[in-house]
Amino acid sequence: MTIRVVQWATGTVGRAALRALLARPGFEVVGVYAHQPDKAGRDAGELAGMAPVGVRATGDIEEILALPADCVAHMPLPAAYFGDDPDHDTKTICRLLASGKNVVTTTGFTHPYSYGPELVSRLENACRVGDSSLHGTGISPGFLTQLLPFALSTMSMRIDHIYLRDCSDYAGHPSRQIVVDLMGFSRDAEAYAAAVRPFRAFHRQLYTESLDLLARALGVELHDVEEDDEVVEAAQDYTVAAGPIPKGTVCGSRWQFTGIVHGRPLISMECVYKADAGRLSRWGTPGFTVRVEGRPSFMAKVEELDYGMLAAAAHAVNAIPALVAAPAGIRTFLDLPLTGGTGTIRVG
């Protein structure tokens, strides 16, 4: 069965997903939604850096809602941080679901139950109206902070504490919106403190979802989430793909979110972001670590992920067949079988 998919947004992650959807058998791209006016009307293949395919992008949501499609790969920059209306993504997703389209999104929603019954009710009602399903996913938060530690936890008889460390290098990331506007790099301390306020709330929301979902997978409920963060400033001028990092401006940040059960930490997530890891040795090297303390205790590492945005797109695309086949409703990773990228294995 061919799955008809709409690609929503064609930024770094969306473009990677669009290329995968166009290249892989079993998928048919029937529509593309583009935020930027200069992308509307352009061929989907052209936007993906491929040959034309005869599908034109649109900036009109009504055109997307009217399309016969099985799933929408919803991958815009999160409205909770980048938009004027923090509820915009929820409204959009509800409209897509109610129109009969399943939605896989990289804007959060990995565990909507973290936000209480009102949001859950809106999403579930939209799913009922459209007989559709919603799945939020990503890499971190997402696969690395949820599915991977849960899978590894099955090797333990008893778990006392799970520690997750994600260190990302943004030296090659081309998006100024991400590196400067979101992360706050290249700003002085005062400007950073002002700019990062909305990011702080957005960041806490995303990682609270991850903590709650992982705890739920382990059969417990968190009583609180504690947060801590610190920054480091550049010792000299240098330039990354997104632009210059002047001396004395923020070039790295470390965030920690800790899920508390009965007054003690059960899950700790440390997130380290560096404008250029080659120029900042503090807080360790890029990669991802899971350490499970219990019986037995062990540690696992993902030492190199050469293109995290591509991994995020791939993880979402690989979830689409299982999501389309799933019953209507909100679907976390606990509700969907894990699907590998077998559609693109190169033979010979």
Superfamily of domain 3-138+309-344: NAD(P)-binding Rossmann-like Domain (3.40.50.720)
User: What does the block give as tokens for 3?
Assistant: 């799955």
Q: Where are the beta strands (DSSP E) in 170-315?
A: 224-233, 238-240, 243-245, 250-261, 264-274, 287-295, 298-302
| Residue spans in the chain of domains classed CATH 3.30.360 | 143-304
Which among 143, 139, 79, 72 is positioned nearest to 107, based on CA atoms?
79
Judged by DSSP in three states, 209 sits in helix
Is the pTM higher than 0.85? yes
The arithmetic mean of pLDDT across residues 101-124, rounded, is 95
Which among 67, 79, 133 is positioned nearest to 106, based on CA atoms?
79
CA 20, CA 116: separation in Å to the nearest integer?
35
pLDDT at 289 over 70: yes
Question: CATH number of 143-304: 3.30.479, 1.10.287, 3.30.360, 2.40.50?
Answer: 3.30.360
Which among 336, 311, 330 is positioned nearest to 115, based on CA atoms?
330
Residue 140 pLDDT class (50, 70, 90 cuts) = confident
| Residue spans in the chain of domains classed CATH 3.40.50.720 | 3-138+309-344
pLDDT at 340 over 80: no
pLDDT of residue 348: 45
Residue 141 pLDDT class (50, 70, 90 cuts) = confident
CA 261, CA 87: separation in Å to the nearest integer?
30
pLDDT at 225 over 60: yes
CB atoms within 10 A of CB 48: 23
What percent of the chain clears pLDDT 70, i.e. is strictly above it? 94
Residue 167, phi then psi, degrees to nearest 5: -115, 120
- Determine the residue type at 122: R
Least confident of 2-6, 8-12, 101-105: 8-12
